[in-house]
Amino acid sequence: MSASIELKKKLYNYCISQRKRIKHIYGQVCVGVEDSNHTFRVCSHSFNPKPEYVYYEDVRTRLTRIGIIGRYHIGNCYLGSCAEPHAANKLLNRLNKTRKQNIVTNSGTFIFSKALRIRTQQEVKYCKICKQTFKQL
């Protein structure tokens, strides 16, 4: 399933706003994600999580199955630092707060937008770690 037009628009605007906000945008990527009913949508950018950063269980389980968060890496991609797990985590947080029934809080069902390089707004391929984390990518 592909991302909704609303998510694509939201990501584009997010990308532009981050470009102004983040100082070191070189290599920075952003991505959008929505739940399978296209009810909620969020965007996030790539960053190295601080030790106190909380990954909700569903995403944490997926990441720790692969390796140690922040240590395991393939090339320049560090486990847990990509925009994709951050966006999925943000959406989980949103879904956990909603009272709506029948909301699926399994990130395996989430729909991701294409990832964009913040500096240029050009599409970036998902990395191997993200493809391993989220099979839908």
* Residues in contact with Zn ion by the rule CB under 5 A: 77, 82, 127, 130
User: Which residue, 5 or 26, is less far from Zn ion as judged by CB?
Assistant: 26
The minimum distance between CB 84 and Zn ion, in angstroms, equals: 5
User: Which residue, 31 or 92, is less far from Zn ion as judged by CB?
Assistant: 31
And the tokens for 87? 């966006």
The minimum distance between CB 129 and Zn ion, in angstroms, equals: 5
CA gap 26, 99 in Å, rounded = 39
User: Which residue, 47 or 103, is less far from Zn ion as judged by CB?
Assistant: 47
Q: Burial code of 66-88, b = ≥16 C-beta within 10 A, e = fewer?
A: ebebbeeeeeeebbbbbbbbbbb
CB-CB contact of 30 with 45 (8 Å): yes
The minimum distance between CB 45 and Zn ion, in angstroms, equals: 12
User: Which residue, 15 or 130, is less far from Zn ion as judged by CB?
Assistant: 130
What residues contact residue 136 under an 8 Å CB cut-off, 6+ apart?
Answer: 108, 109, 110, 111, 112
Q: Which residue is nearest to Zn ion (CB)?
A: 82
The minimum distance between CB 130 and Zn ion, in angstroms, equals: 3
Strands 29-34 and 77-78: unpaired
